[in-house]
Structure 1
Amino acid sequence: MHRSWGERLFDVSNSLLLILLSLLTLYPFVYVLFASISDPTWIAQVRGLIWYPKGVTLEAYRLVFLNPSIITGYLNTLVYVVLGTALNILMTSLGAYALSRKHVMWKNPVMFMIVFTMFFNGGLIPTYLLINDLGMVDSRLALIIPAAMSAYNLIIMRTSFQGVPASLEESAKLDGANDFTILFHVILPLSMPVVAVMILFYGVAHWNSWFSALIYLRTRDLYPLQLILREILITNSTDTMMTGVGGSDKIPIGETIKYATIIVATVPILVLYPFLQKYFVKGVMIGAIKG
């Protein structure tokens, strides 16, 4: 099929625009990466863009990993991500399965109440009072239990489960399967794309979460990585990482430590995302709300 010069010009212009937008999106990460491995004194003098690293050194990363707060924050974040995401998938799957069955009583009123929470909530103070009365303040449960299920993710998974043929459920019941067997051995294996999307949504949310920790946690040994990162970036608390660094060198290396900490906190999600990307679009489209 012959393409006109106008169509070719549009394709070229569209491609150039998308490349430009991609570079604008990627550059902040590249800037932080180059700054984290460059000579601290040079970084302190640079004003503007950084196009290459200068005086490559990994001293900032060495100081970051020598800081016990970073290691503790990493371990805490891994606990919150693994336990929290597992609970999220379990609760969301159970709720989505129950609300996707045709003959469940009161499922429409229950669904209305769940959707209602997406628009209105009790607010920060009532939520804190509730968490405090339940005895979860200053405990890991405060970051896991209140976020056990997302209404938005429940809707996506529920819609995906509704797309599974009812004949499969009927066949399983004829073979003596109960609802738990049907869910875990029939529905979920057929819905792995949307499950992968849920793992990505919940996992990233737990990994990036810091506000709940700021509100509910008092013990530093329970702080997640993002809260440690916030302290480093906002309060300039890099002194504990600079033991043995000379006084005149503390300010430059302190700036480099901030960039290194950002990279350390970001890389795990960047490494995980490509493995789930192939499920992302498919899972969201399967679970999309249909008219």
Structure 2
Amino acid sequence: MTLSLPLLKPRPADARPVWEEPPGAVGKVAKAVVVAVVCAVMILPFLTVLSTSLASREQITEAGGFVLFPTDPTLQAYTTILSGGVVTRAVLVSVGVTVVGTTLSLATTIAFAYALSKRGVPGAKAILMMVLFTLLFAPGMIPMYVLVKELGLLDSYWALILPGMISAFNLVVLRAFYMNIPEELYQAARIDGAGDWRILTRIVLPLSKGVTAVVGLFYAVTYWNAFFNAMLYLNDSGKWPIQVVLRTYVVQNKQLTADQLGLQHMPPQQSIAMAVVMLALVPILLLFPFLQKYFTKGVLTGAVKG
């Protein structure tokens, strides 16, 4: 007696791969569980920080430090740190550095990338190789400090902007996008008498809104979150951005006094610390919903050509 095994039906040549097939019931449940766990891991700390910043002194004392669900929320910590003093000044410094730095970085990176994307520009390949070299090999902390000192930028806000004004990665991304714009558009504009400035402003920038928004977001996040350059180049604590204040008074657990905040009565230190954390998180967090539609398109720019 012989056993016959069922023959497997060969898959068609144009069939989708197995991993692209719709998941079954078990797969859908597993995905839902994984997504729920990841969301809980991400949301729970944020919710704890927000709740503690809104909690009263009694709730914080009863909970032992952190509050998950405040029963009597209050904005006293936020009104305290935003009523003047070191935190308010640090927020204004961070906003100014982020706005000015992002504007200058976008302008210089766009102009640089457009010049390197043009064919026939003398020395373009050599300059591009130097840019790629800086992407692979950083100059180091001591040479950067010596350069900033010799330029007279110590204890200046420009020390937070100029050393990192152009990112090699963002430059390469923009250049790749500009090179993928059809050459016929450039030729048609040249025939109509348009120069490089008009081509850049009327053709290139309108076609690259997505990648420009993403690069701008990268720059804004970098400037807003930067704290090491401020610690290295700024000796005056009155010029510190919010991230340095956050590190000093939250991470290092240094106490904010009533004199530093310009007040007579102080809310709980735990509420103030968590309110400072929220101030450091929320501004950049609010930008992502507006730029989300550009994000996927922008980060994949230059990856597929054709």
The two structures have a TM-score, normalised by structure 1, of 0.90
Counterpart in the other structure of 2:242: 225
Q: 1:104 aligns with which of 121, 131, 140?
A: 121
CA distance in 2, matches of 1:118, 1:227: 26
CA distance in 1, matches of 2:23, 2:40: 26
Counterpart in the other structure of 2:29: 12
Q: 1:65 aligns with which of 45, 66, 82?
A: 82
Q: 2:254 aligns with which of 215, 236, 243?
A: 236
CA distance in 1, matches of 2:96, 2:276: 19
- The offset of 1:152, in angstroms, is 0.6
Identify unmatched segments of 5+ residues in structure 1. none
- The offset of 1:265, in angstroms, is 2.0
Identity score, percent: 35
How many residues align? The count is 283
2:60 and 2:66 in contact (8 A); partners too = no
Q: 1:165 aligns with which of 168, 172, 182?
A: 182
Which deviations, in whole Å up to 9, do the C-alpha atoms of 1:26-67 show, x marking residues without a partner? 111111001111122322342597441133222211211124
CA distance in 1, matches of 2:305, 2:147: 36
**Bigger radius of gyration among the two:** 2
Question: Which is helix-richer, 1 or 2?
Answer: 1
Structure 2 residue 262 is the aligned partner of structure 1 residue 262: no
Structure 1 window deviating more from structure 2 (130-139 vs 68-77): it is 68-77
Identify unmatched segments of 5+ residues in structure 2. 1-20
- The offset of 1:77, in angstroms, is 1.2
Structure 2 residue 61 is the aligned partner of structure 1 residue 41: no
CA distance in 2, matches of 1:126, 1:59: 45
- CA RMSD in angstroms comes to 2.2
- What one-letter code is carried by the residue in structure 2 that aligns with 1:266? L
Counterpart in the other structure of 2:13: none
Which deviations, in whole Å up to 9, do the C-alpha atoms of 1:147-202 show, x marking residues without a partner? 11000111111111111111111111112222122112211111000000011100
CA distance in 2, matches of 1:26, 1:126: 41
CA distance in 2, matches of 1:150, 1:5: 40
> Where do 1:182-221 residues align within 5 Å?
182-221=199-238
The two structures have a TM-score, normalised by structure 2, of 0.86
- The offset of 1:290, in angstroms, is 5.9
1:156 and 1:288 in contact (8 A); partners too = no
3-state SS, counterpart of residue 66 of structure 1 = coil
1:74 and 1:225 in contact (8 A); partners too = yes
